[in-house]
Amino acid sequence: MTLKTVHSVAELRAVVAGWRARGLRVALVPTMGALHAGHISLTDHVRNHADRVIVSIFVNPTQFGPNEDFGAYPRTLPDDQKMLDAAGVELCFAPSVEEMYPDGFATRVSVDGSFTNVLCGASRPGHFDGVAQIVTKLLLQALPDCAIFGQKDYQQLMVIRRFTTDLNIPVEIIGAPILREDDGLAMSSRNRYLTPEERAIAPTLDRVLGEITKAAARGAEIAPLLAKGREDILNAGFKSIDYLEIRDADTLERVEDRVRKSSRVFVAAHLGKARLIDNHAIDPINITG
Nearer Cβ to ligand PAF, position 26 or 59?
59
Query: Which of 39, 45, 49, 270 is flagged as catalytic?
Result: 39
Give the shortest CB-97-to-ligand PAF separation in angstroms. 12
Q: Is 189 annotated as a binding residue?
A: yes
Three-state secondary structure readout of the chain = CCCEEECCHHHHHHHHHHHHHCCCCEEEEEECCCCCHHHHHHHHHHHHHCCEEEEEECCCHHHCCCCCCCCCCCCCHHHHHHHHHHCCCCEEECCCHHHHCCCCCCCCCCCCCCCCCCCHHHHCCCHHHHHHHHHHHHHHHHCCCEEEEEHHHHHHHHHHHHHHHHCCCCCEEEEECCCECCCCCECCHHHHHCCHHHHHHCCHHHHHHHHHHHHHHCCCCHHHHHHHHHHHHHHHCCCEEEEEEEEECCCCCECCCCCCCCEEEEEEEEECCEEEEEEEEECCCCCCC
Interface with ligand PAF by CB under 6 A: which residues?
Answer: 30-32, 60, 63, 131, 134-135, 153, 156
Nearer Cβ to ligand PAF, position 42 or 202?
42
Give the shortest CB-229-to-ligand PAF separation in angstroms. 25
Nearer Cβ to ligand PAF, position 84 or 222?
84
Q: Is 1 annotated as a binding residue?
A: no
Q: Which amino acid is at 7?
A: H
Is 39 an active-site residue? Answer: yes
Residue nearest to ligand PAF (CB): 30
User: Under a CB-based contact definition with an 8 Å cutoff, are residues 224 and 208 in contact?
Assistant: no
Q: Is 83 annotated as a binding residue?
A: no
Q: Is 141 annotated as a binding residue?
A: no
Contacts of 36 (CB under 8 A, 6+ apart): 187, 188, 189, 191
Q: Is 187 annotated as a binding residue?
A: yes
Q: Is 240 annotated as a binding residue?
A: no
Nearer Cβ to ligand PAF, position 117 or 262?
117
Give the shortest CB-142-to-ligand PAF separation in angstroms. 13
Give the shortest CB-221-to-ligand PAF separation in angstroms. 34
Nearer Cβ to ligand PAF, position 132 or 265?
132
Give the shortest CB-135-to-ligand PAF separation in angstroms. 6
Q: Is 156 annotated as a binding residue?
A: yes
Rounded distance between C-alpha atoms, residue 13 and residue 62, angstroms: 23
**Which segments are annotated as binding site for (R)-pantoate?**
63, 156
Residue positions forming the annotated binding site for ATP: 32-39, 150-153, 179, 187-190
Which residues are marked as active site? Answer: 39
Annotated binding-site members:
32-39, 63, 150-153, 156, 179, 187-190
